[in-house]
């Protein structure tokens, strides 16, 4: 198992044990796991993102920490958090990561996953100028997720 997998597994266990909130000190965790602190940063920035259902806060300095919070599993609240986190533009890859997470957590059906993925794909925006695609994709994604919230609640 790779070190990044071990770090991620350790953090997920911490989140499970603490009800979805974990506060870690990077250097301390690196010492426990026998890795460099930058490995902790890499894992947090790549595997604990809003698209994957996490909120990460950090405070630098001597008493600094990294706080990771698993977004609540209440479907409506989680979906609203995702809609609000999308912003003004989103890449096809980031949109795909969000949709994969929603499908894995069974917050959207497989049918909705396929339908929304199709609507957000680069193929769907082939006729749109490149510089506008991510803005249009964000707008479409937010509208589709809001419709999902309205129809399923």
Q: How does the average pLDDT of the chain come out, rounded?
A: 88
Q: Is the pLDDT of residue 147 over 80?
A: yes
pLDDT given at position 72: 64
pLDDT given at position 153: 61
The tokens describing 34, both together, are 């026998």
12-27 pLDDT, tens digit each: 999 989 888 999 888 8
Q: What is the mean pLDDT of residues 60-86?
A: 79
Would you say the pTM of this structure is higher than 0.95? Answer: no
The tokens describing 59, both together, are 């405070």
| Three-class DSSP labels, the chain | CCHHHHHHHHHHHHHHHCCCEEEECHHHHHHHHCCCHHHHHHHHHHHCCHHHCEEEEEECCCCCEEEEEECCCCHHHHHHHHHHHHCCCCCHHHHHHHHHHHHHCCCCCHHHHHHHHHHHCHHHHCCCCHHHHHHHHHHHHHHHHHHHHHHCC
At residue 143's C-alpha, the angle toward residues 111 and 52, to 5°, is: 65
pLDDT given at position 75: 78
């Amino acid at each position: 198992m790779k070190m990044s997998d071990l770090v991620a597994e350790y953090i997920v266990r911490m989140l499970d044990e603490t009800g979805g909130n974990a506060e870690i000190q990077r250097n301390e965790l690196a010492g426990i796991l026998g890795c460099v602190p930058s490995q902790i940063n890499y894992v947090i920035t790549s595997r604990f993102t809003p698209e994957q259902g996490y909120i990460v806060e950090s405070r630098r300095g001597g008493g600094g920490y990294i706080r990771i919070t698993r977004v609540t599993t209440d479907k409506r609240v989680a979906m609203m958090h995702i809609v609000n986190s999308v912003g003004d533009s989103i890449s096809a890859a980031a949109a795909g990561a969000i949709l994969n997470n929603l499908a894995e957590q069974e917050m959207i059906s497989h049918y909705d996953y396929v339908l929304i993925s199709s609507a957000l794909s680069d193929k769907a925006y082939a006729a749109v100028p490149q510089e506008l695609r991510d803005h249009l994709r964000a707008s479409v994604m937010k509208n589709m997720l809001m419709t999902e919230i309205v129809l399923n609640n």
